[in-house]
Chain A
Amino acid sequence: MQIIVNGDNKQFSDSLSISELIQQLGLADKRIAIEVNEQIIPKGDHNSRQLIDGDRIEIVHAIGGG
């Protein structure tokens, strides 16, 4: 399965949930927000939402800005 995470192609052998993706990326305890195909996926749905081939995921956080 190939998905696009923050603009980069990522290959995964098995299907995975958003929670599992976050875990694998080392972002499990971080304050982040997630979009899949430009749809926000609330935190409460990260466990249940399975990613499928071709999904485009955006993971964002807060940084310095004016």
Chain B
Amino acid sequence: MSSTNQADNSNDSLVIAGKHYQSRLLVGTGKYKDLSETKEATEASGAEIITVAIRRSNIGQNPDEPNLLDVIPLDKYTLLPNTAGCYTAKEAIRTCQLARELLNGHDLVKLEVLGDEKTLFPDIVQTMEACEVLVKDGFKIMVYTNDDPIIAKRFEDMGCVAVMPLAAPIGSGLGIRNPHNIVTIVENAKVPIIVDAGVGTASDAAIAMELGCDGVLMNTAIAGAKNPALMASAMKKSIEAGREAFLAGRIPMKRFASASSPIEGLFF
């Protein structure tokens, strides 16, 4: 088949801050049992954007311990340092600045400022405060937020390169709890909308994509599965399937039947 193939959507890339990505699945690297499991699952996911956390180095313990960046090399992946664990704008700003120094000036970050430990919901006031400072400082911000369409638009207006509403609480696996809000966020947006957090299994990711989201970011759903690499592969397929279904345009839902075979030509 030539390029006229209607089923060919290979030109359909995710664009974040001017860079094109073929994969619409973004994955985290937390909660794996070891680095080989991290490597195997990350490769199986096909993801190109990978989140990492910034933490204190171990001093004087085991200087030869393997490093995450050995299995997630900078020349192969786009690293997305996060501000997980930050509860104030100040902590998040400091973390982003350290990440930029650590990664040789890399300025794409995932900004999250948390409200409390029980829900891990974002503190929007603190997130906005950090966002304002970081945008001025030249950072390209992918922002973790709640599923509020008004707030999502505000983050876009502030200059975020992607807005990432939660589907459900981080690590909960509850799936998309408020699909109508997610659709409203998508409809209003001029920047990529990426569902971040709450996905439990492959169908959840497919639903996010069918709603028109530009991508899905997940960690626990893969790392916490009994077979993380297999779940990563499932997520890859579900993201692709959901995207294709969105582009294809689904049929409307109706209450009653509509025969698939013609009535005409019946011989009885």
Count of residues in B whose CB is under 8 Å from the partner chain: 36
Could you show 27 A-B contacts with beta carbons less than 8 Å apart? A6-B59, A25-B59, A25-B60, A25-B63, A26-B63, A27-B63, A30-B67, A31-B69, A32-B57, A32-B102, A40-B97, A40-B98, A60-B55, A60-B57, A61-B57, A61-B102, A62-B68, A62-B69, A64-B30, A64-B52, A64-B53, A64-B68, A65-B29, A65-B82, A65-B84, A66-B82, A66-B170
Tell whether B246 is near chain A: CB-to-CB under 8 Å: no
Q: Which one of B69, B81, B223 has the greatest number of beta carbons of chain A within 10 Å?
A: B69
Tell whether B136 is near chain A: CB-to-CB under 8 Å: no
Q: Which residues of B contact A (CB under 8 A)?
A: 28-32, 38, 51-57, 59-60, 63, 67-69, 79, 81-82, 84, 94, 97-99, 101-103, 170, 217-220, 223
Report the number of A-B residue pairs with Cβ-Cβ less than 8 Å: 100
Contact at A7–B101, with CB atoms within 8 Å?
no
Tell whether A20 is near chain B: CB-to-CB under 8 Å: no
Docked Cα-Cα span, A6 to B61, in Å, equals 13
Q: Which of B28, B97, B102, B103 contacts A65 (CB 8 A)?
A: B28
> Which chain B residue has the least Cβ–Cβ distance from A25?
B59
> Which chain A residue has the least Cβ–Cβ distance from B62?
A26
Docked Cα-Cα span, A32 to B102, in Å, equals 6
Tell whether A52 is near chain B: CB-to-CB under 8 Å: no
Count of residues in A whose CB is under 8 Å from the partner chain: 26
Q: Which residues of A contact B (CB under 8 A)?
A: 5-8, 25-27, 30-35, 38, 40, 42-43, 58-66
Docked Cα-Cα span, A60 to B29, in Å, equals 17
